[in-house]
Amino acid sequence: MNSPAPSSPVLSLVGISKRFGPVVANEDVSISLAKGEVLALLGENGAGKTTLMNILFGHYMPDSGSVTVKDTCLTMGRPRDAINAGVGMVHQHFTLAPNLTVLENIMTGTEPLFALRARTGAARAKLATLCKRFGLAANPDARVSDLSVGEQQRVEILKALYNDAEILILDEPTAVLTRPEAEKLFQVLRTMAAQGLSIIFISHKLNEVMESADRVVVLRGGRVTAERATSATDKDELAALMVGRRVERPKRGDALRGPTVVEARGVDVTVKSIKVLQDIDFSLHRGEVLGIIGVSGNGQTVLAHLLSGLAHPGAGTLTVLGAPLGRATPSHLIAKGIGRIPEDRNTEGAVGDFTLWQNAVLERLGDSRFSRWGFVRSRPARAFCDKIIARFDVRGGTPDTATRNLSGGNMQKLIFGRNLLDGPAILIAAQPTRGLDEGAIAAVHSEILAARSKGCAVLLISEDLDETLALADRIQAIVKGRLSPPVASTGLDARRLGLMMAGEWDGLHAV
């Protein structure tokens, strides 16, 4: 890691305050950043981190305060001024046009409006120079829709660098990356910092904060509550500073495994003429957590869809709660007591423009509590939402708040709560703690283990090996659409799981 340069800061935020109605997002926040420094911005979901960075980049107008970049005070609310001053931002949810090439995306917004032709030759040469300088490989002619998530993020970073960014902001940069992709990203960021770029990244992952940041600023309730050099702190202290108390994740006790509720034998699933799942076998029992691990893109998304009614078996047999699944619809499965936490909360989990109470019952409108004679019953729906907010600590609004105004982590807690509040028979949890802070992760783990103890059968699909080891009773790896034999989690470690994810299954003792 680099040591912050002992010079005047390249960036200063002074006295930033921002409210959204009655909700205080930022309160008198002051932060500075040195040239070549890597600063981590840490805090609970809804602590005001993303709001603060959106103010810095000009997306939001603060109620008070100022932003200075290299002795120039920025005009608030104008992203172009921030870009011209050398500030680049990579958002948690990418802003690329999937139908355009890498080069076209990078050039978007950089050409004069009335230019007779695009200067693609010069742009291509500049992009090649940036790729070489920072070790960011990118094919300028590749279509963005054909890129992996990690490659798309690389394009977002290159787009900021193409605009001559000297200060780079990354919002939850590893939220959707695999562990190898995250490690490569931080190698690149350290190279950038060594060459004089200044970096702020928002994260909930304490390992990457400790390994990659020079300094940490902690926000809680919209205020700066602590600032530490990473060399003078540890993960336990940072976790406590985030939530205001010591955080301990729950311990998994012995499972009281009950009867089988899901059984798959020789199941294939084909999507757009491609066989995504091949000859898979697994069983899921009441009172257990079955963990599915694998590198993103190996079929785990379709496996979750299969048990949610969003995909259907083309071959083999699949029995759920004693009946063949067939071509069951999502509403039918939800009515049978199957809850699902989708891996992408924004496209599959919630509708941003709907209110919290509407999203709370969105998948349950077949339930007579929430609809009758084709009409939604808003009063019991709001009451249901109030219970979710209270029990699962959903912060940032009331039942009538638009869901898009929540932080990503609080949106995840809303989705999680609507599935667990009624006590499902089966829970399909795909990346359930993605984007959550340490306190929220501990709470979600507690809820999953509590549901297990009440007899719920949990299918946990996660790329977090530590999480899988902590929660799962049995574990299977998914590689190229195939499942390994199930093995007991007791005695396994991250190294052995990594080998399973690489397809090394010889010698596994199925349980």
Instruction: Please write the tens of the pLDDT for every residue from 458-504.
Output: 999 998 888 999 999 999 999 999 999 999 998 888 888 888 888 88
Residue 112 pLDDT level (bands cut at 50, 70, 90): low
Residue 111 pLDDT level (bands cut at 50, 70, 90): low
Residue 22 pLDDT level (bands cut at 50, 70, 90): confident
Does pLDDT of 405 surpass 90? no
The structural domains of the chain, ordered by start, are 11-243 (3.40.50.300), 260-353+408-501 (3.40.50.300)
Alpha-carbon distances of 212 from 46, 184, 194, 242, 260, rounded to whole Å: 23, 12, 12, 18, 45
CA atoms of 371 and 380, how far apart (whole Å): 9
Packing angle of the helix pair 438-453, 408-420 (nearest 10 deg): 10
Q: Work out the percent of the chain whose per-residue pLDDT is above 70.
A: 96
Q: How far apart are the first and last CA of the chain?
A: 44
Q: Work out the percent of the chain whose per-residue pLDDT is above 90.
A: 42
Query: What tokens were used for 10?
Result: 């390249």
Q: What's the whole-model pTM score?
A: 0.75
Q: What is the mean pLDDT of residues 127-151?
A: 84
Give yes or no for a contact between 489 and 468, defined as CB atoms under 8 angstroms apart.
yes
Query: What tokens were used for 445?
Result: 């783990």
Q: In this predicted structure, what is the pLDDT of residue 116? A: 46
Q: In this predicted structure, what is the pLDDT of residue 123? A: 87
CA atoms of 215 and 242, how far apart (whole Å): 15
Instruction: Please write the tens of the pLDDT for every residue from 291-336.
Output: 999 877 789 889 999 999 889 999 999 999 988 887 888 888 888 8
Structure-derived torsion over alpha carbons of residues 159, 407, 464, 462, reported in degrees to the nearest 10: -100
Task: Tell me which residue has tokens 């770029």.
Answer: 197
How many angstroms from the chain centroid is the CA of residue 136?
23
